[in-house]
Amino acid sequence: MTTVIAQGTFDLLHPGHVHYLSEAASMGDELHVIVARRDNVTHKAKPILSDRQRRDLVAALGVVDEAHLGHREDIFVPIEEIQPDLIVLGYDQHHDEAAIESALAARGIDCGVERASAREPRYPEELLSTGDIIDRILEQRDC
């Protein structure tokens, strides 16, 4: 059995997230998703939705076998617990594959690291990022 991990913030779920998680699920037999805790998100604006709500929304997707909240201090703890065969990164996530592979090797975790493909909008008004969704809300609500 091939166990796959996907990870991310997953604030305001959108078709880009569904594409990423569906593609990650297709790469193995079991998909675990690690949802970043709000306090650990430092590379972009903090999530709007709570940690638990974001995890629960991800867990409700049919392609996800199990959704976990990330560890408060060490992002590799859930990976050590799950022992995946593969970690799939989103096509636009800020992570460096080589750095992740090096950290995994240093911890004795033997798994591959791959990137998911991008998904293009299927129609002009389709939004594939949380930031774009927020911008559209602010624009349409005259904020």
Query: Is 76 part of any known ligand binding site?
Result: no
CATH says 3-140 is which class?
Answer: alpha beta
Instruction: Give the pLDDT score at 44.
Output: 87
**What CA–CA distance (Å, rounded) separates 67 from 17?**
14
31 touches 25 (CB < 8 A) = yes
113 touches 97 (CB < 8 A) = yes
Mean pLDDT value across residues 3-28: 97
Q: Percent of the chain at pLDDT above 90? A: 90
Those residues whose C-beta lies under 8 Å from the C-beta of residue 139, and which sit 6 or more positions away, are none
Mean pLDDT value across residues 18-25: 98
Query: Is 92 part of any known ligand binding site?
Result: yes
Query: Is 43 part of any known ligand binding site?
Result: no
In this structure, of 20-24, 57-61, 94-98, the range with the lowest mean pLDDT score is 94-98
pLDDT at 95 over 90: no
| Helix, strand counts (H, E) of the chain | 5, 5
Query: Is 15 part of any known ligand binding site?
Result: yes
Mean pLDDT value across residues 77-91: 96
Return the closest-CA partner of residue 113 out of 95, 131, 126, 132: 95
Q: Where are the domains of the chain?
A: 3-140
Mean pLDDT value across residues 21-44: 96
Query: Is 17 part of any known ligand binding site?
Result: yes
Determine the distance from the C-alpha atom of residue 27 to the mean position of all C-alpha atoms in its chain, rounded to a whole number: 15
pLDDT at 143 over 80: no
- Averaged pLDDT of the chain: 95
In sequence order, the β-bridge partners of residue 89 are 115
Query: Is 42 part of any known ligand binding site?
Result: no
58 touches 10 (CB < 8 A) = yes
